[in-house]
Amino acid sequence: MRVLITSGPTREPLDPVRFLTNGSSGRMGIALAEAVLRSGGEAVVVSGPITHQYPTGAEVHRIETTQQMLEKCTELFPSCDGVIGAAAPCDFKPVQYSDQKLTKAESDGELLLRLVPTPDILAGLGRIKKPYQWIVGFALETQHGKEHALEKLHRKNCDFVALNDPSSIDNTQAKLEIFDVHGNRVALLHGMKSDVAAELLKIALRK
C-alpha cells in the first residue's frame, strides 16, 4: 500500500520577503503518515512549510505554493493507491508578484491586493483517478457542514470526506465525521489525531 498525503499550508509570495499563508500545523498529515507506516505501507507526503517533523521512513516532498503542490501530487499520484488531502492549500494568490519589496512610500497609504484562485489539487487528482484508486478529502465548515462537505466530495471526485470540527485546527485532538459517496455518515472519530488518523486510514482502505 502506497498512500499520498498532502499536508500543511502552502505559501503564495507577494514580494521577496512576504507571503500569504494560513495556520495549518501539518499535525494531521504527520499523524496520517505515522498511521500508514505503522500499517506497513509507504507514506508519500507532499508538504508545505511546517515546523513539526514527519516520521522517519516517510518519503517527504517539500513544496511552497499551491501550484507546486499540484504539480508534485500529479507526478506522484499515479504510483499510489490513494490520496488523503490533509493540506490547507492557499485558495488565492496575488495576481502580481513584486520583484522588489513593496514599500510604504510607494503605496500612497493604502495597498490593494488583487488575488486570483489557485488550482484545486484534489479536484485535479479526482480527474485522473483510476478505478482502483481512492481519494479522501477534508472539509472544515462553520455552517451547513454535511451539505458543504458532500458538495466537496462530489466536486473533487472523492470516495470519502472527513468533516472537521473547527476546534481541530492546531490541536493535538481531532473530531471528524466521515461521509461516503452516498451521503451516509460512516464514522464519528474523536480523540488524539494519531488514533483518529489510524481509523480514517482503515475506512479509506475499505474502498
Residues forming contacts to ligand C5P in the complex (CB under 6 A) are: 6, 66, 85, 87, 89, 91, 118, 120-122, 137-139, 152
Q: Which residues are catalytic?
A: 22
Instruction: Work out how close the CB of 164 gets to ligand C5P at its nearest, in angstroms, rounded to a whole number.
Output: 9
What is each CA distance from 101 to 97, 158, 161, in whole angstroms?
Answer: 10, 40, 40
Instruction: Work out how close the CB of 106 gets to ligand C5P at its nearest, in angstroms, rounded to a whole number.
Output: 31
In 3D, which of 84, 83, 27, 89 has the Cα closest to residue 55?
A: 27
Q: Hey, which bits of the chain come out as E strands?
A: 2-7, 12-15, 18-20, 42-47, 59-62, 82-85, 92-94, 115-117, 134-140, 160-164, 173-180, 185-192
The residue sitting closest to ligand C5P, measured at its beta carbon, is 85
CA atoms within 13 A on the CB side of 128: 17
Contact 33, 43 (CB under 8 A): yes
Report the residue number, 92 or 98, with the smaller CB distance to ligand C5P. 92
Report the residue number, 157 or 194, with the smaller CB distance to ligand C5P. 157
Residue with cell 517539500: 62
In 3D, which of 198, 86, 69 has the Cα closest to residue 139?
A: 86
Contact 176, 10 (CB under 8 A): no
Instruction: Work out how close the CB of 90 gets to ligand C5P at its nearest, in angstroms, rounded to a whole number.
Output: 7
Report the residue number, 26 or 137, with the smaller CB distance to ligand C5P. 137
Report the residue number, 9 or 41, with the smaller CB distance to ligand C5P. 9
Instruction: Work out how close the CB of 48 gets to ligand C5P at its nearest, in angstroms, rounded to a whole number.
Output: 11
Residue with cell 490541536: 171
